[in-house]
Chain A
Amino acid sequence: MDNENIVYPALEVHDLTVAFDRKPVLWNIDLTLPEGKLVGIVGPNGAGKSTLIKAVMGLLPLSSGYVKLFDQPINDVRKRISYVPQRESVDWDFPASVLDVVLMGRYSKLGLFKRPRKADYDVALDCLKKVGMEAYINRQISQLSGGQQQRTFLARALAQQADIYFMDEPFAGVDAATEKAIINLLRTMTEAKKTVIVVHHDLQSVTQYFDWLLMLNTRLIACGPTSTVFTQQNLQETYGGKLTLLSDVGDLIRRENFPNREGVTRKVL
């Protein structure tokens, strides 16, 4: 992997292990991502793609390792981070309009107690235009189609005007034309030195969409410029079946209530 030549990394992950109910789902991930790139994360179902971005954002407890964004601990740079969660992660039958949801993207800038100002509305409307949702500003969110919900989430993330974007399958349920439009949008963002990290499913479009690629299957297979890492051998290793031994050891750790690291005192019940 040619990580050596990254001078100013947007994201640095060191020896990251994440476990659910003690069973590790990501093992010892080490990676560095440069600034201003459109990065894809690919891997089979259950490879830990969503887990990786959630762990990086500090939404999941780490069993080991650390994460640095822009060479700083995550909590010091929260305002520079934006997130597009999976569409199914929320209950869309919530009393809110499209505009209400997009305005949520402004909350971290606004701070506690304050109401959105005129300027925040301007940003929200502008972002809705960018994703082609300006016709649905006042639409109740439960009445949106899947693709429209996805674009609403995207507009919310854009409204944050962050420096690094984590997107969990932003193209799920989006039609081909919209997908193209969104990719173009992401590209203009990376040209403006923003870093965009996208969990992606469709291998067909990988070379066309992403500058960098992160190939994952419970461990890191490869991370680097798409042109160099998107090889037959890496694909084979990523998709060529599970490492059964690894998964069995994980199950064993859970069954035996073993700590993931020696010396880590586990909370007992």
Chain B
Amino acid sequence: MNSLFEFFSFADPNIRFVVIGSVLLTASSAIVGTFTFLHKKSLVGDAIAHAVLPGICLGFILSGTKNPAYLITGAFITGWISLIGVEYITKHTRIKDDTAIGLVLSVFFGIGILMLTVIQKGGNASQSGLDHFLFGKAAALVGDDLIVFGAVAVTLLIAVFLLFKEFSLLAFDKEYAKAIGLPVRWIDLVLTSLTVLAVVIGIQAVGVVLMAAILITPAAAARFWTNKINVMVLLASVFGAFSGLSGAYISYIAPAMPTGPWIVIVISTIAFISFFFAPKRGVINRVLRQRNIRRTINDENVLKTLYQLGEENKDYFIQRNKEEIIRRRRFSPEALGKILQRLENQGYLDKTSKHWVLTEEGKARGQRVVRIHRLWELYLTTHLNIAPDHVHDDADTIEHLLTPELEVELERLLNYPKVDPHKSEIPYS
């Protein structure tokens, strides 16, 4: 607890630098990354991240110092060249863009590593620390870095704020944007520059290798929670900032822990949680919905079977046992037991020792399923000219799906018919 208090009091200037630096980096990369993600250019972010390494080395070789201004300029230039390379390859050869990205990424990264090795072997004393760009150095951020980061972060924010609607439109429908005369090339150029800029700054915290994670992961996580683009941008930046903050905190309480990788672990955890637990789009919710649908189908099939048994002698309230149901329609006895239990709990069946009987509500629901089944069969034969012996399986699915409104529509369309194509009576309540 003490460490928590110490950390968040920000009394230690080092903590202040690391925290502010990390949060600025992660939040602004996440905002730009949201548009990179929506433009379906996630892989491009990774290519840029790897391609800035030779630029950094070149900046160092030419200037002889680790002055961030030179390194950033170098990084920005090679980052851009890599993108032009990808675009050129896809436009002028038969190579598709995923292959082009892979090619460019590995070639640039290879050259970068080569240059880095040469520099390290070169005996220039000021080179030490250049390899931080590989894995980041968030824990070693100093005041000067913050000024650069802050300036870049503010630039990114202003640009995204001003061009928000243009970026959104281009991500959704570029052809249309061109047709109505937006300067598409220019806007694309700005977005790409922002991406390169975000990457160039971000690699100082998390390094070349992990950069794509803080660019794209917050956006991917945010997409699970919302269908509004502005909320998505906001969420992504909050996720990014939170991971930056927690990364800094974790490396503070456990000094052996590196900040950058922890930032990535935190943001990835957020993404995993979103993937599984987000309402509507999350996996668990989908599984649950699927299970509910299966249950509904099973329940309604049992009610339908009981109703059909009742049709045989026009008495729907006869006591039935499991065997009678199974003889009419195949269920596994265990599954049937569970379904019957559930239906009893829901008030559709009454149970007496080993027998079940439909309640009024149970009969109505079973009857509705039978009615829709037969109406649909009739609809398929009369309106789609499908042979009567082909319509049963189709109707077996539709009977559980149709909404009351569509049911009314169907009845009206068929003019309340008396019998289905197999001469079975269509029951109305």
B173 at the interface (CB under 8 A from A): yes
Q: Which of A68-92 contact B (CB under 8 A)?
A: 75, 78-79, 81-83, 85, 89-91
What CA separation (Å) do A81 and B181 show in the bound complex?
A: 9
Measured between beta carbons, the chain B residues less than 8 angstroms from A91 are 40, 172
Q: A113-B162, A267-B92, A269-B93 are in contact. Are A101 and B180 (CB under 8 A)?
A: no
Chain A contact surface mostly: mixed
Measured between beta carbons, the chain B residues less than 8 angstroms from A57 are 178-179
B182 contact from A90, A107, A269, Cβ within 8 A: A107
Contact across chains for A269 and B175 when beta carbons are under 8 A apart = no
Contact across chains for B227 and A140 when beta carbons are under 8 A apart = yes
Contact across chains for B173 and A108 when beta carbons are under 8 A apart = no
What CA separation (Å) do A110 and B182 show in the bound complex?
A: 11
Measured between beta carbons, the chain A residues less than 8 angstroms from B227 are 95-97, 140, 142
Q: A85-B173, A104-B173 are in contact. Are A112 and B163 (CB under 8 A)?
A: yes
Q: How many A-B residue pairs have CB under 8 A?
A: 87
Contact across chains for B232 and A95 when beta carbons are under 8 A apart = yes
What CA separation (Å) do A243 and B173 show in the bound complex?
A: 34
Give the residue among A94, A116, A140, A142 with the most B Cβ atoms within 10 A: A94
Interface size on A, residues (CB 8 A): 36
Measured between beta carbons, the chain B residues less than 8 angstroms from A46 are none
Q: Mark B156-191, 1 if CB is under 8 A from A, else 0.
A: 000000110110110111011111111100000000
A100 at the interface (CB under 8 A from B): yes
Interface size on B, residues (CB 8 A): 28
What CA separation (Å) do A75 and B181 show in the bound complex?
A: 7
**Nearest CB of chain B from residue A73's CB, rounded to whole Å:** 12
B162: nearest residue on chain A (CB-CB)?
A113
Contact across chains for B172 and A58 when beta carbons are under 8 A apart = no
Give the residue among A83, A115, A267 with the most B Cβ atoms within 10 A: A83
Q: Mark A148-173, 1 if CB is under 8 A from B, else 0.
A: 00000000100010000010000000
Contact across chains for A79 and B181 when beta carbons are under 8 A apart = yes
Contact across chains for A269 and B180 when beta carbons are under 8 A apart = no
Measured between beta carbons, the chain B residues less than 8 angstroms from A160 are 180
Q: Mark A120-161, 1 if CB is under 8 A from B, else 0.
A: 000000000000000000001010000000000000100010
Contact across chains for B172 and A83 when beta carbons are under 8 A apart = no
What CA separation (Å) do A166 and B172 show in the bound complex?
A: 19
Contact across chains for B181 and A83 when beta carbons are under 8 A apart = no
B172: nearest residue on chain A (CB-CB)?
A94
Measured between beta carbons, the chain B residues less than 8 angstroms from A176 are none
Measured between beta carbons, the chain B residues less than 8 angstroms from A97 are 227-228
Measured between beta carbons, the chain B residues less than 8 angstroms from A54 are 175
Q: Which of A221-259 contact B (CB under 8 A)?
A: none
What CA separation (Å) do A47 and B92 show in the bound complex?
A: 26
B40: nearest residue on chain A (CB-CB)?
A91
Contact across chains for B232 and A83 when beta carbons are under 8 A apart = no
Measured between beta carbons, the chain A residues less than 8 angstroms from B165 are 104, 107, 110, 115-116
Contact across chains for A85 and B176 when beta carbons are under 8 A apart = yes
What CA separation (Å) do A209 and B181 show in the bound complex?
A: 29
Contact across chains for A107 and B166 when beta carbons are under 8 A apart = yes
Measured between beta carbons, the chain B residues less than 8 angstroms from A113 are 162-163
B226 at the interface (CB under 8 A from A): yes
A83 contact from B163, B166, B180, B229, Cβ within 8 A: B180
Measured between beta carbons, the chain A residues less than 8 angstroms from B226 are 95
B178: nearest residue on chain A (CB-CB)?
A59
**Nearest CB of chain A from residue B131's CB, rounded to whole Å:** 37
Contact across chains for B175 and A85 when beta carbons are under 8 A apart = yes
Q: Mark B3-20, 1 if CB is under 8 A from A, else 0.
A: 000000000000000000
B38 contact from A94, A156, A269, Cβ within 8 A: A94
Measured between beta carbons, the chain B residues less than 8 angstroms from A166 are 179
Contact across chains for B229 and A95 when beta carbons are under 8 A apart = yes
Contact across chains for A104 and B178 when beta carbons are under 8 A apart = no
Measured between beta carbons, the chain A residues less than 8 angstroms from B162 are 112-113
Contact across chains for A59 and B175 when beta carbons are under 8 A apart = yes
**Nearest CB of chain A from residue B222's CB, rounded to whole Å:** 9
| Contacts A58-B178, A82-B180, A107-B169 supplied; 10 other A-B pairs, CB < 8 Å | A59-B178, A85-B176, A95-B232, A96-B227, A108-B181, A112-B163, A113-B162, A115-B165, A160-B180, A269-B92
Spell out A's residues near B (CB within 8 Å).
Answer: 54, 57-59, 75, 78-79, 81-83, 85, 89-91, 94-97, 100-101, 104-105, 107-108, 110, 112-113, 115-116, 140, 142, 156, 160, 166, 267, 269
| Top 10 A-B pairs, shortest CB-CB distance | A78-B181, A83-B179, A108-B180, A269-B92, A140-B227, A95-B229, A113-B162, A90-B173, A57-B179, A94-B172
